[in-house]
Amino acid sequence: MTYIKKKPGFFLIYTCFSLLFMLFFLNNPLGAAENNSFKLLTQRLIDDGFDKVMINKIYNNPEMNFNSKSVSRFFMHNESKLNYGRFTSSELISNAQEYQKKYAKDLLMAEQEYGVDKNIITAIILVETRLGKYTGKSVVFTTLSTMAALTDPLAKKKLWEDMPQKNRLSRDAFNKKVKKRSNWAYNELKAFIKYTARENIPPFKVKGSYAGAMGLAQFMPSNILALAVDGNSDGRVDLFNHTDAICSIANFLKRYGWHPEINRKQAAKVIYYYNHSKYYVNTILDIADILKKT
């Protein structure tokens, strides 16, 4: 009799537990594959020396998600199809001229301290973020984490299934890009965590491009650690601040060989380090030439 009385209770508890288990995964858009992917990623970060408590706290944050939307755009990106010609329109050139007037002091400081032409700096900020108007809407931390997690086959499979069918890469091209970019993203993720910890910035508050680039200058995190500078001397490196961004771009270009007497061919080689696209390089040089004449 005792056994019979307890049996219904057992099945009731079992049934409730099963329902809760199913509801959790049905309401979790990421699913088991993603959770497992981030567990592997967090362990990798911990093994590489990051504080276990800090890493677990970040990845257990409710804002954490598998950012298929941003990463899909990254994998479908085609530089040659971008319309760089629009940046030499009269409207945008006029905006660039106004920008130079507004930040004349900062641009002059960058020219004097780093020897970099103010027109080149302005052209880069124009092309990268429309002079600061469009710095990106993707959460950098989830974007880089998702890309870094693609070393896990289940995460890679999920991204492939989430990618829009239209203009999607071939499966072979996708796999090759994942192999090349996942470790790159992992290194950028480590740099991002170090940067946000150093500057005491909440990781989920930073938004940028679908590749993880940040601020007016669209620096990747590794470049922020290595080349971004505190232009306004406020004790912080903030690439959403115009002075810091202007000086950081100048420092970047100087580090890669820019000098006051540089010719166009040499300038093109330096700018190529900023963005590995000949379309991009030529556009920057063309904008700078137009600004010099106005």
Beta-carbon-side half-sphere exposure of residue 190 (alpha carbons within 13 Å):
15
pLDDT digits (tens, 9 = 90+) for 78-115: 766 678 989 999 999 999 999 999 999 999 999 999 99
What are the φ/ψ torsions at residue 208 (nearest 5 degrees)? -160, -155
pLDDT digits (tens, 9 = 90+) for 154-180: 999 999 999 998 888 899 999 999 999
Please tell me the pTM assigned to this model.
Answer: 0.86
Domain residue ranges in the chain = 62-293
**15, burial (CB in 10 Å: exposed 0-12, middle 13-18, buried 19+):** exposed
